[in-house]
Structure 1
Amino acid sequence: MAPVKTIAAISTAPGMAGVAILRISGPAAGHVLRALTRRLPRPRVATYSTLYDPVGGTPIDSALVLWFPAPRSFTGEDVAELQVHGGRAVTAATLRAVLTVDGVRPAEPGEFTRRAFENGKLDLAAVEGLADLLAAETEAQRRQAYAQYGGRIANVGEALRVNLVNALALVEATIDFPDEDDVGTSALGDARRRIEELDRQVLALLADSDRGERIRDGLRVAIAGPPNAGKSTLLNTLAGRDVAIVSPIAGTTRDALEVHLDLDGVAFVLTDTAGLRAGADPIELEGIRRARSRIRSADLVLFLQSADAEAVIDPDWDAGQEVKIWHVQTQIDRFGPDMAADHFFRHRISAVEGIGIRELLADLATFGRDHAGGEPAVLVRERHRAVFADLHRALADGLLIRDWSQETELVAENLRAGLSALGRATGRVDVEAVLDVVFSSFCIGK
């Protein structure tokens, strides 16, 4: 096996800043500190030092230096951190000096975190939580990501694993001691009750996984309606900038345009869709097809109709759909304050004049809180959902066997398949195929 190389990288964002942090991890980390600071500081104590170029001996900068001997470090290896002044020239000179030390090379994206995973400091679900924490833009995303990083899946999975192992032990005991008929019958009955309860817990987690993905990716809101209903104008108003082209010509919007909003700590993805109408040209028809697809996959549809249009629902997509729909009457400024209220519409707005926009945003924020509230979800990624779906299938296959005493070995095999699925949740088994994808999403220095 090739010797482990020491890696180094700037962990803070490029550009001018008050402080920049350079991280070093690996067997030569202590040698780097001696080469640059001419001493090894006390472990886990911030030490003020002058950094020197190891080649020429000239001073580079004054810095705070931290030394974390293995295994008590983020990666589980010897780790050093240099907190220098955040100018480009300072950080570049410091990194060049570190890389002159023998055995040190630049880190790849996510390599520090990957070493933490490989050294048992983080499981795979915690790594994914860390990636989500770095990408979090809203309070709900932060809370959920931090719960993942803190081991939420690992804790829930461990409780499930203990119960599953106990049930499997009871089943295997009847295989190992087949002559104890009374004990065997009692043990199998106990094991089956445990598995039934486990499967109920797994199904509850799967049912809540959609909420976790919505918080992570954003609640999807489609702005739909006929041409010239004010969809693009509303999108621009909510975004606070010109995102979509606004024109009185029907069919101007041909493709879906997205805007990301943070409403009261919850992420939303608002999509402006093509106007729904018949008799359009082939290109516009493709835009309408895409609009209907976005509508079907949305968590909420704002169906806009101008104040001078009849209050109708587009039958081609509304009939039989389970999508939540809010009917919104637009352009009410064109008809004056004496216009009669129509209770068919949840909101009556003028995006141009700002009438009703504050109330619409408040209603959307409440919708977001209702969907993102409560404890953070356990399953927040498609990978998590797939793993727990495999666990459910393994348990369900075991429960489909009516007489466990006649097919005990098959029952045990199904329960072992469930244990294997749980191992994949935290990266204990069979995850090599996903590792490169997960760690490539990290920036260099993390």
Structure 2
Amino acid sequence: MDHHTTLFAPASGFGRSAVAVIRISGPLAADALRRLTHRPLPPPRRLVLRPLRDAAGDALDQALVVWLPGPGTFTGEDMAELHLHGGPAIRAAILKALAACPGCSPAKAGEFTRRAFLNGRIGLTEAEGIADLIDAETEAQRRQALRQLDGALGRQVAEWRDRIIDLLAGVEAALDFSDEGDVDDEALDAALFAKARALRDAIATVLDDGRCGERLRDGFTVVLAGPPNAGKSTLLNALSRREAAIVSPVAGTTRDVIEVRCDLHGLPVILVDTAGLREAADPIEAEGIRRTRSRMDQADLVLLLDDGATTDAETAPSAPSPILRVRTKSDLSASSMTGAGLAVSAVTGDGLGALLEAIAQRAAHAIGGDTALITRERHRDGLTRCRDHLDRLLQGTALPELAAEDLRLAVRALGEVAGHVGVEDMLDRLFSGFCIGK
């Protein structure tokens, strides 16, 4: 959409509510507010009560309105907000009246935040922090998103980028003044390599975080696996405290994976019920088992369930993921598991607390604290390429021409993380995932 278009959209949820907020941003925001109130603009940044009317003068609502002149606004543009009564009919009438204002158009998903980025009000990683904050389901996710919104990664990337640009300036000086006697190539090379190595090591340290940030953002995945009728679906329902999966004594009831998201001690955990592991002639069940093994390969933790009626060979996993063995239906058996596993009963609840604690401990260890800088694969890809270019520089012949090219590529990789270069397609993907009106 043209950056000169004035946008409007609801900034609060749909359905009935006490208050609904509509946001307006763009060069004609002031004109739109005057058209709706039929009065001059109110004092800046003060909520005032105004009647809202359509172009014909018919009353629409009594609302609190606020005028926010740019550039000191979220988007960097002139903005206005309408705080309406929250009925769907009122909201629809106001949106219809705004659509009738010349130069005003409904906003697409994430378009307000996109304008804030394009107008320099926030960086790209801060914009991602806004999206993560909206999507945060647990306390740990909230804290991590706030760190991104506060610019933790953006500031670090900017500092690294400045250091690489300084190195690049030194190399280009060697190229420009190679015939001058006051440029000592050997001393410059020694200083360059020392600084490049320190920078490379700093980036490598951040990359070597066990993907804690991505795990926290996406959730710690726990796959329940085992033979048919081992109690996977029953245990999933017991752990999630709701009837998320169908439970049946018929073997092979679960044909596809079922996911349930949980907040476990403030950490996001995804419990995955899967098809029972066995040799299956039914092609549909066989596909479910193939998906089970695929999810086991990708899991952060596999709960390998055994009700005591199967052999180890039947329940042996083919996954490289960490495994916690769990003996189910402990209320029906006097045997218990010690050391390598836990015994639980989904019927009586025995052992469920210990199992949840074991999962929480593994999730906390995998996710770590809330200090991870990298929270998306895009960040990791850019930093990895930057590190690789610095590695190539350190392993090269120290020719100024080659060193300069490696440093330029390293700067470009960091620029993509920060949103300075080559990110138009990525911006479309990022902001399309936002809410309308954000």
TM-score (norm 2): 0.94
For the aligned residues, what is the CA RMSD?
Answer: 2.1
Partner of 2:380: 385
Matched, 1:364 2:359: yes
Equivalent position amino acid for 1:230 in 2: G
Partner of 2:327: 329
Once the two structures are TM-superposed, the CA of residue 308 in structure 1 deviates from its matched residue by 4.7
Partner of 1:414: 406
Partner of 2:140: 140
In 2, are the aligned partners of 1:67 and 1:81 still within 8 Å (CA)?
yes
In 1, are the aligned partners of 2:221 and 2:301 still within 8 Å (CA)?
yes
Q: Give the gaps of 5 or more residues in structure 2.
A: none
Partner of 2:8: 8
Once the two structures are TM-superposed, the CA of residue 311 in structure 1 deviates from its matched residue by 5.8
Query: More displaced, 285-294 or 369-378?
Result: 369-378
Q: CA distance change for structure 1 residues 354 and 169 in 2, over 3 Å: closer, same or farther?
A: same
In 2, are the aligned partners of 1:209 and 1:385 still within 8 Å (CA)?
no
CA distance, structure 1, for counterparts of residue 5 and residue 377 of structure 2: 34
CA distance, structure 2, for counterparts of residue 413 and residue 3 of structure 1: 35
Aligned to 1:137, the other structure's residue is in SS state coil
Once the two structures are TM-superposed, the CA of residue 279 in structure 1 deviates from its matched residue by 5.6
CA distance, structure 2, for counterparts of residue 33 and residue 246 of structure 1: 57
In 2, are the aligned partners of 1:170 and 1:188 still within 8 Å (CA)?
no
TM-score (norm 1): 0.92
Identity of aligned residues (%): 45
Query: More displaced, 68-77 or 371-380?
Result: 371-380
Matched, 1:43 2:44: yes
Partner of 1:72: 72
CA distance, structure 2, for counterparts of residue 123 and residue 313 of structure 1: 52
Once the two structures are TM-superposed, the CA of residue 171 in structure 1 deviates from its matched residue by 1.9
In 2, are the aligned partners of 1:11 and 1:23 still within 8 Å (CA)?
yes
Partner of 1:103: 103
CA distance, structure 1, for counterparts of residue 94 and residue 336 of structure 2: 68
Match of 1:423 among 409, 415, 429: 415
Equivalent position amino acid for 1:259 in 2: V
Q: CA distance change for structure 1 residues 305 and 315 in 2, over 3 Å: closer, same or farther?
A: closer
Once the two structures are TM-superposed, the CA of residue 362 in structure 1 deviates from its matched residue by 2.1
Aligned to 2:208, the other structure's residue is in SS state helix
Partner of 1:347: 342
Within 5 Å, which residues of 2 pair with 1:130-209?
130-178=130-178, 179-180=180-181, 183-208=184-209
Aligned to 1:208, the other structure's residue is in SS state coil
How many residues matched?
Answer: 436
Equivalent position amino acid for 2:42 in 1: P
CA distance, structure 1, for counterparts of residue 90 and residue 387 of structure 2: 54
CA distance, structure 2, for counterparts of residue 383 and residue 279 of structure 1: 39
Deviations 1:296-355 (A, max 9, x none): 11111111111455566844516xx3x2111111101013xxx25432442110112211
Partner of 2:230: 229
Within 5 Å, which residues of 2 pair with 1:154-303?
154-178=154-178, 179-180=180-181, 183-208=184-209, 210-278=211-279, 280-303=281-304
Once the two structures are TM-superposed, the CA of residue 359 in structure 1 deviates from its matched residue by 1.8
CA distance, structure 1, for counterparts of residue 3 and residue 133 of structure 2: 32
In 1, are the aligned partners of 2:306 and 2:315 still within 8 Å (CA)?
no
Deviations 1:26-74 (A, max 9, x none): 111111222223021121222x222231423243322222111111111
Once the two structures are TM-superposed, the CA of residue 192 in structure 1 deviates from its matched residue by 0.7
Q: CA distance change for structure 1 residues 280 and 2 in 2, over 3 Å: closer, same or farther?
A: closer
Query: More displaced, 7-16 or 244-253?
Result: 244-253
Once the two structures are TM-superposed, the CA of residue 236 in structure 1 deviates from its matched residue by 1.4
In 1, are the aligned partners of 2:304 and 2:315 still within 8 Å (CA)?
no
Deviations 1:213-252 (A, max 9, x none): 1111111111111222111110111122222222223222
Aligned to 1:317, the other structure's residue is in SS state coil
Deviations 1:138-169 (A, max 9, x none): 11111112211221221010111122122222
In 1, are the aligned partners of 2:174 and 2:183 still within 8 Å (CA)?
no
